[in-house]
Structure 1
């Protein structure tokens, strides 16, 4: 499984692994996605990017080769690991934005310095960690925290994605806080090299250009 593969990634092969995953994800998205609006979301390793301008070349080449618009690619970085070089990550984000790539801060609320990273990077999206989502339908504390994050993000012009949504009660509660973008088993379970069957509740607006597929 994925855990076994990731356990074999170390300093000696991290860069090649990161680059290979990006290229493969773009190639698959170009062949699988049913329209010209659906986004591709790619997790990346900041410590695998030694020089942003040089390390993005393979990604640009792959997107150009298969005709996948760069504006449809979103790079996610996580706050779950301690970032020792915030300035380096900022350089990466700045370089990616030059090429019309979107950026997202993943697992927001689960790591070491979520608010500080949000202030430093101001990504296009933040993805709320599922631990904040679980039980939100019956937790006033979680509802209050999430509503506060949504208000703060709106003022910063950052979109919020709720990840790990598993029940309709969670979905309804999250919609009441002002969130419109969701990810989780309620809608579909992940598949390998194929598109999943997606279930959309009647209360959810039609899927738009912000729909994401993670790679």
Structure 2
């Protein structure tokens, strides 16, 4: 990962400024999709997924991100996710996390770039220790030391760290050998149709063993059928995400009522 270049001066942006979406020249909102703890049926976390105000996809929004607005976009997404999740009552639940995707190239110095995030947790009353930050393994990681420094700072702050889309990108096990996050999210390329694919079953079984040895929690993504859910449960994976459980919903927390049941 090459070192990012930001417009000068580079400094932490305050929460109020990050809520000023007009500075991006386009507006965003967040959709939320739960990560389910399958044995209990309750959400373990909600992933915040960027959308346009008219329902534009993440791909359409990301196409508008340039080197000039990358840092601002990353900061606005964090603050927006915290603001909406808090307003929807996620901060008042027990233990359920808010998962936020971040762009490593938008983080110059982790201890500085996290200030607006922490200010947002105070402003909107969301517990900072319930934040989980995901970085996609699908992005080419050229500077692993930079990413390691980000994760180290986030761990120091008490955040949960995660590698998203594991198994789909450039680095795979080499990336995992460099640093170990709290959570590893298996890409749907590995989980889709796993119920009838002995090769994928063998690969995922090996990743389960590695994760157990390293003390890493696994999440299986892209689960659409009961057969996929059962196959992954049989392999020892308890956390899953996908359309089988709930689709992303804009400004809503699907299945939130399950957290209050029992």
Normalised by the length of structure 1, the TM-score is: 0.90
Distance 2:259 2:138 in 1: 29
User: Which ranges in structure 2 are unaligned for 5 or more consecutive residues?
Assistant: 1-55
Distance 1:159 1:15 in 2: 29
1:109 maps onto 2:139 in alignment: no
Task: Describe the superposition over 1:147-204 as per-residue Cα deviations: whole angstroms up to 9, x where unpaired.
Answer: 11011001000000000000000000000001000000000000111122579xxxxx
Residue in structure 2 matching 1:93, options 144, 151, 172: 151
SS at match of 1:12: coil
SS at match of 2:204: helix
1:19 maps onto 2:103 in alignment: no
Determine which structure has the larger strand proportion and give its number.
2
1:108 Cα offset (Å): 0.5
What is the count of residue pairs matched by the alignment?
A: 202
Q: Which residue of 1 aligns with 2:34?
A: none
1:67 Cα offset (Å): 2.0
Residue correspondence of structure 1 range 168-207 to structure 2 within 5 A: 168-197=226-255
SS at match of 1:65: helix
1:47 maps onto 2:110 in alignment: no
Normalised by the length of structure 2, the TM-score is: 0.74
1:136 Cα offset (Å): 0.5
Q: Give 4+ residue runs of structure 1 displaced > 2 Å after superposition.
A: 196-199
Q: Greater RCO between the two (CA within 8 Å, min separation 6)?
A: 2
User: Which ranges in structure 1 are unaligned for 5 or more consecutive residues?
Assistant: 200-205, 209-215
Distance 2:74 2:80 in 1: 10
Distance 2:203 2:231 in 1: 13
